């Protein structure tokens, strides 16, 4: 089974919801391969959530696994994953749940899935503090209300197609939900930040939040600068170019 980019298209809003035909996360947790972290990503003891999942359909007769008991989960709920989301997608305290095979599993409630589309999709990446960013040069604000998020996201997507062609050799890809625009994923931080050790994860968070901000020059080149310098450089770009990113 494909690891990503396969969505059920039997829903009118499938382009925004992006429900998969099969959830590899659910299969992994139900079979005992891994357990949910606070972010809802699946992790393994000693590795955290910095893993990739895939599913193989087979006729082989295999012994079914059993879910990992909650007290044996790799996740100690340090919630650094939530603090590492530039869009603030995850609640720090509220939980949501899913029931698989008669067992209920909990993880962080999401403020809105559109935030992940906005940030991971590469349309914006500047943290609200203005002190760090993902690899996206976008500087759009993330509104509080869900409907406002969609309004701002659609505006960003329209401008995204007018960003200069990147000159760093990155190929990008075409997502079936936005087939007319080449997409460059620029986040996934909530997953790759966690290495299964709180010490390592905290160091990863420190590196992330002290690494500066990305901006894109009019020639398409990307540059990483300390936050204050990036802000000054961005302010010095041409008004028409700046308008594409905020």
Q: Which DSSP string do the residues of 32-69 spell out, in sequence order?
A: TS-EE-TTS-EEBTTTBT----------S------PPP
Predicted pLDDT at 207: 97
Q: What is the pLDDT of residues 153-164, one digit of tens each?
A: 999 999 999 999
Within-domain flag for 2: no
Within-domain flag for 4: no
Q: What are the backbone dihedrals phi and psi of residue 205, each rounded to the nearest 5 degrees, phi first?
A: -65, -40
Predicted pLDDT at 183: 85
Its pTM stands at: 0.90
CA distances from 241 to 36, 153, 215 (A): 41, 18, 11
Predicted pLDDT at 5: 80
Q: Which helix (H) or strand (E) holds 152?
A: helix 146-160
Within-domain flag for 92: yes
Within-domain flag for 154: yes
Based on the number of CB atoms within 10 Å of its own CB, is 139 exposed (0-12), middle (13-18) or buried (19 or more)?
Answer: buried
Give yes or no for a contact between 184 and 172, defined as CB atoms under 8 angstroms apart: yes
Tens of pLDDT along the chain (246 residues) come to 566 788 888 988 888 778 888 899 999 999 999 999 999 999 999 999 999 998 888 999 999 899 999 899 999 999 999 999 999 999 999 999 999 989 999 999 999 999 999 999 999 999 999 999 999 999 999 998 988 999 999 999 999 999 999 888 887 888 787 777 788 889 999 999 999 999 999 999 999 999 999 999 999 999 999 999 999 999 999 999 999 999
Within-domain flag for 40: yes
Predicted pLDDT at 2: 63
Q: Which residue bears the tokens 């998969």?
A: 20
Q: Which domain holds residue 160?
A: 14-242
Within-domain flag for 6: no
Q: How many domains does the chain have?
A: 1
Q: What is the pLDDT of residues 20-76, one digit of tens each?
A: 888 999 999 999 999 999 999 999 999 999 999 988 889 999 998 999 998 999 999
Q: In 19-35, which positions are buried (b, 16+ CB within 10 angstroms) versus exposed (e)?
A: ebeebbbbbbbbbebbb
Within-domain flag for 130: yes
Within-domain flag for 191: yes
């Amino acid at each position: 089974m494909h690891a990503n980019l396969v969505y059920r298209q039997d829903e009118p809003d499938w382009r925004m919801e992006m429900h998969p035909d099969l959830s590899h996360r659910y299969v992994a947790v139900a079979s005992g391969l891994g357990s949910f972290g606070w972010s809802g990503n699946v992790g393994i003891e000693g590795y955290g959530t910095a893993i990739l999942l895939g599913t193989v359909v087979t006729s082989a007769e295999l012994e079914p696994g059993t879910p990992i008991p909650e007290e044996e989960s790799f996740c100690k709920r340090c919630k650094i994953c939530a603090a590492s989301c530039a869009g603030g997608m995850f609640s720090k305290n509220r939980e949501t749940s899913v029931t698989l095979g008669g067992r209920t599993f909990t993880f962080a409630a999401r403020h809105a899935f559109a935030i992940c589309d906005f940030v991971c999709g590469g349309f914006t990446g500047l943290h609200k503090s203005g002190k760090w960013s993902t690899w996206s040069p976008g500087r759009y604000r993330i509104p509080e209300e869900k409907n406002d998020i969609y309004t701002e996201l659609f505006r960003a997507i329209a401008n995204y197609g007018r960003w200069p062609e990147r000159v760093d050799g990155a190929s990008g890809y075409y997502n079936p939900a936005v087939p007319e625009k080449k997409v460059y994923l620029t986040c996934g931080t909530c997953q790759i930040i966690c290495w299964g050790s709180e010490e390592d994860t905290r160091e990863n968070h420190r590196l992330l939040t002290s690494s500066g901000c990305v901006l894109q020059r009019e020639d398409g080149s990307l540059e990483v600068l300390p936050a204050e310098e990036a802000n000054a450089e961005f302010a010095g770009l041409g008004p028409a170019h700046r308008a594409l990113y905020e």
